[in-house]
Every structure is written in C-alpha cells, then in structure tokens.
Chain A
Amino acid sequence: MGRTGKSGFGLAMLALALMAGTAAAQDFKPAVIFDMGGKFDKSFNEAAYNGAERFKEETGIEYLEFEVTQEAQREQAMRRMVRNGATIVVVVGFQNATPLETVAPDNPDIEFTIIDAVVDQPNVQSVVFKEHEGSFLVGMAAAMASKTGKVGFVGGMDIPLIRNFAHGYEQGVHYVNPDAEVLVNMTGTTPAAWNDPGKGGELAIGQFDQGVDVVYAAAGATGLGVLQAAADRDKLSIGVDSNQNHLHPGSVLTSMLKRVDVAVYNAFKDSMDGTWQPGAQSLGLAEDGVGFAIDENNRALITPEMEAAIEDAKAKIVAGEIVVEDYYSTQN
C-alpha cells in the first residue's frame, strides 16, 4: 500500500511536471543571432551554434536563428526576432552591444543574453569570458613546445578583447619560460580584419621568419590563414574559440576553447526553466567557461609532462594561487 501510494504520488508529480513543462514550452521560444562570420565559421559562431543545436536535440524545441552579414542588420534582426514571438534572444558578439542598448529597453518583457559584451539593462544577461585565463594555458603549451624560445600571436581586429587574449598568452609563456620572446601582430583596425586569411598567413610567415615556431591565432576566419601557413611550413599553431585541432592534425598544437556553446545552452535552458537571471557573469577556468583542447588530432604533440604542468597551473588559477591579469585592468 505504502509502495503504491508512493509511486502514485510520484506519478502525479511527474504528470504535473510534464504539464508544467508543456505549458512553459508553449510560450517559450528561443532565438539566436550569430555574428559576422556565420554559424559554420569553425570558431566563435560555430560554438554558439553547437550550443543551440544541443538544446534542440535535448528538448526538441526549435529555435529561431539569424546570421548577421552587415552592420545594419543587427538591430533589425533583434527586432524581427521579438516580432516573431521569441521570448529569449541570445545575441552573439561584442558588436551587438550598441544596438542591444536600444532594443532591450523597448522590449522589457523579452529576455536578452549577450555574449562577449556587457550591456547594463534590467532585462539583459551579459556573458563574458576570461579569455586571458584560457590563453594563459595555451601560452604555457606554446612555450613548452617551442624550440626557439620565440612564440607568436596573430590577432584579428585590434580591440581590447583581442588584446586580452594576447595579454593572457604572454603571461602563460613567461610563466614557463621567463626569457621567451612573444611577437604580437594585429591584422587590422576594421572588421575586415576578421576575414583576411591571406593577410593572416603573411603575418604568420613574417613571425616564422623572425624565428617563431608556435603561433596562436585569435582572429576569426583570418586565423584559418595563420593555421594554414603554419601547416605549410611545418610549424605549430594554436586555434581559438572552437576546437580547431582537426583542421590540420599534427600542426595545430591545441585550441583555446571558449565555451560559447555552454553559455548559449544555459541561457536557453534557464529561460525555459524560469531560472534565467539578468546581470553580468564572467566565465573563467573555475566555471569551465574557457579551457584547452586535447583530442586524437593533437595527442602526439602534447606530452604527458606538458599536460601535467598545464593541469597543475589550471588548478592553481582556479584556487587563486596564480592570478592572471586581464588586459582591461592594465589600461587605467
């Protein structure tokens, strides 16, 4: 009797939960807006896409999507998503911050999550990453893998966000080898700098000519040219945002992961569950928001000693024993 009573209660709870679930699912409609580069850029946007796809797979809920291809479309796309009935809109990319400043107050009932920028509005959740912490770890890998003691960095557009990658990277390199030299190049000062693989490759070759043998690219599609140049010249490269190890197996040393997928997935999930909260959050190593990639494509490049040293530093950063300085704090 007791047993049936318990299971009966459980069933009732389950039914209730299911009803609540369907009720929530009916008026719940997620949307995601990808940044320039598009959802299959093998990097930043693709990570966001993967998060949205995982949500769709797990819940069966379809999401609205849009790929921005011009500056003017940003605000338009956000407004269209709202018109189409979206209840949560995830906008990917720092360049969406300004349009969101105006769209969010106009739609106070809609939940917005912006990735890679902070927008201070009561209905906006801002997710930023501690790129400098992830970059610190790949900087260590670079310094340990380098034979010449010279490593390189190729950034995309010259903005503080990309400088932050470089700053963390330099600290990681110097943590392993204080005498190592880090060459930093930026591709340009306009958004075109994210889409110029030819220039990226040339910058990488320029660094190789100066003795660099490991180069880290944080440059969107421009980075693909950097990785290609490294593969063509038997040098090592480090990918960014998504796991790019598979692009040139044996040449991509590792990839600095920015778990944009987790951020997108969580925003959708929390919104569905009603636990979504506005405000800013910063995801670092402790939150598994950033990390580095090891898979079968780069297994042979990362020795067990290297992995142990990196894991050790990671634990120390999480515990607060190593403090990785961010670029923004150096700019005042």
Chain B
Amino acid sequence: MEELATQVLLLTASTVRLATPLVLCAMAGLFAERSGVVDIGLEGKMLGAAFAAAAAAAVSGSAWVGLVAAIAVSWSLAMLHGFASITHKGDQVVSGMAINIAVAGLGPVLADAWFRQAGRVPVSGEDARFLPIELPFAEAARSIPLIGPFYAEVVSDHNLLVYVAAVSIPIVAWVVYRTRFGLRLRAVGENPSAVDTAGISVDGMRYRALMVTGLLAGIAGAYLSIAQGAGFTRDMSAGRGYLALAALIFGKWRPVPAVLACLLFAFADAVQARLQGVELPLIGEIPTQAIQALPYLLTILLLAGFVGRAVAPRAIGQPYVKER
C-alpha cells in the first residue's frame, strides 16, 4: 500500500515536470488567440527561446542571463509575427509556420557556428541552470500523514520555473477575466470593430497580447534547455508547442480547462514512461508501441466524446481592417 502511494506521488511529480512547458505555452497561446491572432508559432518561439537560453547561459554561466535572453528572443519572434500578421495583415498561420521553420533551421546552424558541437549547446555548471529547490520543512513534514509526503514529493523539489508556471495560472485567469486589459483582450478577439468604435486601437491591443505571449513562451523555452534539461539540441521542443495549442483548443480557450488538458497530456506521457515493460495484472505486458500511442489515443477519445464543441474567439485568424 505504502509502495503504491509512493508510486502515485512520484507519478504526480513527473506529471508536474512534464506539464510545465505545456502550461506556460498554452497560457502564452491563450493571450495571442484570445486577441484574435492564431499562434501556431508557439513551437518556434519556444525552440528559439530554448536555444537563446542555452547559448546565453553557456557563455555567461548564469541561468538568469539565459532566462532574459530566452524571453528577448521569444518576444522578438512574437513581434515579428505581429509585424507580419497585424501590421501587414498577412496570413497568421503562414507567418507562424514560417517562424517555426526558420527557428528549426537557424538554431542548429548558429549552435554549430558558435559552439562547434553538431548543433548542440551544452550547458554545465550549477549556476547556469535552474536546479530543483527544496521548499522549507519538506523533510520535516514527511512524517505528517497524507499531506507530508505529498508536500515533499509533489510540491517541493522542483526548479523555479515550475513554480513560475504554477503561479502564472491564477494570474492569467485573473488578468483575462477580472481586469480592463482582459476585457478588451477578449473583446478584440470577438468583435474588433466594437473595440475600435470605443476608441481603442485593435492593432495596439493585439501587439500587447503578443508581448505577453512572447514572455510566457520564452519562459517555456528556458525551462526546456536550462531547467529540465542541460543544453540545446536540434528540435528539442519535439512538438510540445503544437501539443500546447491542442490543449488550448481542448480547453476552449479558457485558462483553467486548458491547464487541465495540459496536465492530462503530461500525465499520459508520465504513465507511458512507467508502464513500459511492466507486467500488469490480468493483461500482462503491454507492447511499447501501444503505450506510446496512449497520449494520442486519449486525445482523440476525449476530443470525440467528452469535450463537446470548442468555439473559437469569433475574430480569430482575421486581420482587422478598418472600414473606410
């Protein structure tokens, strides 16, 4: 029984680690998409940020410098996306995809040119990474039944960016639903002409939304290369940006359901890492391929059966043109 409880706690901790980049990315996408800008470029922003974080941290030896560089790069890419699709009314999907492709090629090329390690940027040294933090009283609290082990295994002992992701959830929800900025953000994605009539710049609102997107996607990228991992490798985001976007749609563009979807994806991933080669009672050993298909199967099942219709912000994907 104790054994089982420990396994469940460890599984939960693993879910939290895997969910962090998804949550940050989904929150990033939420701002862009709620303002009416499709952001398929989350993957590229995250990958670019991962590269920048690794490069800056490797050179400076400081994780904080890496984080700042990651945010700067992700923010610049978001602005580029805005310039193409807001200022010049370009197609948002094309612009986002262009960012993904450009970053996927540019990262390894620059890494090769600067670090000569086959498109890799290794990061070493304790200060160059965000290492797990043990929260106060974690060991002492272990003896308290239920809450103690949960606190020690699941809540404590993560790196700083995991806590940042956790804190970002209520803040995002508050900003989107309880502030003037949030109200305007939602309005601009639903009915931009109404916002325009009220004397608020639609383009300005969308740019502001993309700034927040850049910030959050930058943190997600830094998490990949200098917190969870140690260094940049080619294509290391491995589709997490798209997965986050799927979670966002899954969650009907609302913060809390989107986070739940991220946790579900992460949980499926954590489970499949632990189920491989394990003999289950009655069923026996499940083939690796079947287990690895689990997250995708879950997605299809839930999308088909449980989520219902996901209604997108009405003005999503349409560049705003003032009526003359």
> In the complex, which residues of chain A have a beta carbon less than 8 angstroms from the beta carbon of B228?
198, 201
| B288 in contact with A192 (CB, 8 Å) | no
Whether A189 touches B289, Cβ cut-off 8 Å, given contacts A41-B120, A197-B229, A202-B17, is yes
Distance A112 CA – B69 CA, assembled complex (angstroms): 46
Is B168 interfacial (CB 8 A cutoff)? no
Is B249 interfacial (CB 8 A cutoff)? no
Is A158 interfacial (CB 8 A cutoff)? yes
Is A297 interfacial (CB 8 A cutoff)? no
Centre residue among B18, B131, B230, B289 by max chain A CB count within 10 A: B230
| A197 in contact with B118 (CB, 8 Å) | no
Q: Output the least CB separation between A45 and chain B (Å).
A: 7
| A185 in contact with B117 (CB, 8 Å) | no
Is A99 interfacial (CB 8 A cutoff)? no
Q: Output the least CB separation between A72 and chain B (Å).
A: 15
Q: Scoring B residues 224 to 250 as 1 if CB is less than 8 Å from chain A, else 0, what string do you get? A: 100011110111101100000000000
Distance A185 CA – B277 CA, assembled complex (angstroms): 7
Complex partner residue of A189 from B17, B18, B132, B292, CB under 8 angstroms: B292
Q: Scoring A residues 182 to 204 as 1 if CB is less than 8 Å from chain B, else 0, what string do you get? A: 01111011001001111101110
| A184 in contact with B276 (CB, 8 Å) | yes
| B234 in contact with A195 (CB, 8 Å) | yes
| A192 in contact with B235 (CB, 8 Å) | yes
Q: Output the least CB separation between A53 and chain B (Å).
A: 14
26 A-B residue pairs with Cβ-Cβ distance under 8 Å, sorted by A, are A39-B118, A41-B120, A45-B118, A69-B108, A183-B277, A184-B276, A185-B277, A186-B288, A186-B292, A192-B239, A195-B233, A195-B234, A195-B236, A195-B238, A196-B236, A197-B231, A198-B224, A198-B229, A199-B238, A203-B273, A206-B274, A209-B10, A209-B274, A224-B120, A224-B231, A232-B131
Distance A281 CA – B97 CA, assembled complex (angstroms): 46
Is B116 interfacial (CB 8 A cutoff)? yes
> Looking across the interface, which residue of chain A has its beta carbon closest to that of B293?
A189
| A185 in contact with B273 (CB, 8 Å) | yes
> In the complex, which residues of chain B have a beta carbon less than 8 angstroms from the beta carbon of A201?
228-229
Within 8 A of A (CB), among B269-321: 269-270, 273-274, 276-277, 288-289, 292
> In the complex, which residues of chain A have a beta carbon less than 8 angstroms from the beta carbon of B66?
none
Size class of the contact patch on chain A: 35 or more
Is B192 interfacial (CB 8 A cutoff)? no
Please give the residue numbers on chain B whose beta carbons come within 8 Å of chain A beta carbons, in ascending order: 7, 10, 14, 17-18, 108, 112, 116-120, 122, 131-132, 224, 228-231, 233-236, 238-239, 269-270, 273-274, 276-277, 288-289, 292
> Looking across the interface, which residue of chain A has its beta carbon closest to that of B21?
A198
Q: Output the least CB separation between A175 and chain B (Å).
A: 20
Distance A199 CA – B239 CA, assembled complex (angstroms): 12
Is A93 interfacial (CB 8 A cutoff)? no
| A202 in contact with B18 (CB, 8 Å) | yes
Whether A37 touches B14, Cβ cut-off 8 Å, given contacts A198-B228, A202-B273, is no
> In the complex, which residues of chain A have a beta carbon less than 8 angstroms from the beta carbon of B116?
40
| A38 in contact with B236 (CB, 8 Å) | no
> Looking across the interface, which residue of chain A has its beta carbon closest to that of B131?
A232
Tell me the interface secondary structure of chain A in the complex. mixed
> In the complex, which residues of chain B have a beta carbon less than 8 angstroms from the beta carbon of A39?
118
> In the complex, which residues of chain B have a beta carbon less than 8 angstroms from the beta carbon of A232?
131-132
Whether A40 touches B274, Cβ cut-off 8 Å, given contacts A197-B236, A198-B238, A206-B14, is no
Q: Output the least CB separation between A33 and chain B (Å).
A: 14
Complex partner residue of A40 from B7, B10, B118, B235, CB under 8 angstroms: B118
> Looking across the interface, which residue of chain A has its beta carbon closest to that of B274?
A206
Complex partner residue of A158 from B108, B120, B269, B288, CB under 8 angstroms: B288
Q: Scoring A residues 130 to 171 as 1 if CB is less than 8 Å from chain B, else 0, what string do you get? A: 000000000000000000000000000010000000000000
Distance A283 CA – B273 CA, assembled complex (angstroms): 33
> In the complex, which residues of chain B have a beta carbon less than 8 angstroms from the beta carbon of A209?
7, 10, 14, 274
| A206 in contact with B233 (CB, 8 Å) | no
Whether A38 touches B118, Cβ cut-off 8 Å, given contacts A197-B231, A198-B238, is yes
Q: Output the least CB separation between A229 and chain B (Å).
A: 9
Is A221 interfacial (CB 8 A cutoff)? yes
Is A210 interfacial (CB 8 A cutoff)? yes
Chain A to chain B: the 5 pairs with minimum beta-carbon distance, closest first: A38-B118, A40-B118, A209-B10, A206-B273, A228-B230
> Looking across the interface, which residue of chain A has its beta carbon closest to that of B129?
A232
Q: Output the least CB separation between A16 and chain B (Å).
A: 42
> In the complex, which residues of chain B have a beta carbon less than 8 angstroms from the beta carbon of A185?
273, 276-277
Centre residue among A40, A42, A198, A228 by max chain B CB count within 10 A: A198
> Looking across the interface, which residue of chain B has its beta carbon closest to that of A183?
B277
Distance A158 CA – B272 CA, assembled complex (angstroms): 14
Given contacts A197-B230, A221-B120, 18 further A-B contacts (CB under 8 A): A41-B120, A67-B118, A69-B108, A158-B288, A185-B273, A192-B239, A197-B231, A198-B224, A198-B236, A199-B273, A201-B229, A202-B17, A203-B273, A206-B10, A206-B274, A221-B234, A225-B229, A232-B131
